[in-house]
Amino acid sequence: MSTVDADLEITETPAQAPGAELTEARVARVGDMTVRRLLPLRLRRSVGAWCFVDHYGPMSVDGVTGMRVPPHPHIGLQTVTWLISGNVLHRDSLGSEQVIRPGQLNLMTAGRGIAHSEESPAEHDPSLHGVQLWVALPDASRHTEPAFAHHAELPATGIGGFEVTVFAGSLGGARSPARMFSEIVGAELAARRDASGSLPLAASHEHVIFVATGSARVDGAPDATVLRPGQLLYLDTGREQVGVSAAAGSRLFLLGGVPLGEQLVMWWNLVARTPEEIEAAVADWRAGRFGTVAGYDGEPLPAPPLVALRSPRRP
């Protein structure tokens, strides 16, 4: 998915609790869709290597075009596409063409550079609901060759009434087959009934939890906090477990990882380390050097005007 925002920062002041922060999403536009943008934050560019979280829907796309994101470029990241309802068609400059459905994973590794498009198929489901996530590639791997993988089946486990599907890393004894380049975890927690349990956490990881449907209570959140869609709860390192409860029908996401420890420059759909790398990638896109996304009926997405980019602040 593409962002039309050149500046990805959010300015809300987080609610504080010991070792936790609660922040509100801001509304952003992706094509004709409205999304809740939960990450990045002004003071927190990544959580582990997770550097971008968009939550969209649920929305009716019955009888309308639905998702339509023209070809656009990425560098320095992996895109993680996860649907709760609906179906989306992915195409990229490697020649990949893949429809994704709920419970499946599309993982695209941009590396040194890739272009892709995403759209609702001509014969698409009547509703659409999902999340689009980016993982920043660590410095040692960010110029790797681009790649695409589709995982139709993923491991699941049960924790306290939650059905937990692990799409990145491992949790509760279940390990995803997806190839990641840093130590991270990504999982969906579905409460088929009223659920309450303790999620095992890696103490070396920082984590975030957000709700896509329903609501949830999380131990360690600011007092009396009930998480609802559009809120992101950050949990610092040092935790080996966290208690979570949710009513039947609720759906949550847990993301985490070892702190990246690298300063990122993020602009448009590009993740780099210096403004010069961003400028070079934009020039390559405008010159057509990212390759062609075959099969998409429309023009590629033009890069927005370059703004004055700041070099990352050093600790």
pLDDT tens digit sequence for 211-262: 999 999 998 777 667 999 999 999 999 999 999 999 999 999 999 999 999 9
Report yes or no on 5 lying in a domain. no
Asked whether residue 230 is domain-assigned, the answer is yes
Is residue 207 in some structural domain? yes
The backbone region for 112, taken as left when phi is positive above 0, alpha when psi lies in -120 to 50, beta otherwise, is alpha
144 inside domain: yes
Domain containing 61 equals 15-257
Give the bridge partners for 146, in sequence order.
none
Within a domain: 3:
no
How many structural domains compose the chain? 1
List, for residues 172-202, the tens digit of each pLDDT value. 999 999 999 999 999 999 999 999 999 999 9
- Report yes or no: 192 and 158 within 8 Å, Cβ to Cβ: no
Confidence of residue 4 (pLDDT cuts 50, 70, 90): very low
Structural domain includes residue 35: yes
Global pTM reads 0.93
**Domain contains 293:** no
CA 231 – CA 302 distance, rounded (Å): 31
Say if 39 falls within a structural domain: yes
Domain holding 34: CATH number? 2.60.120.10
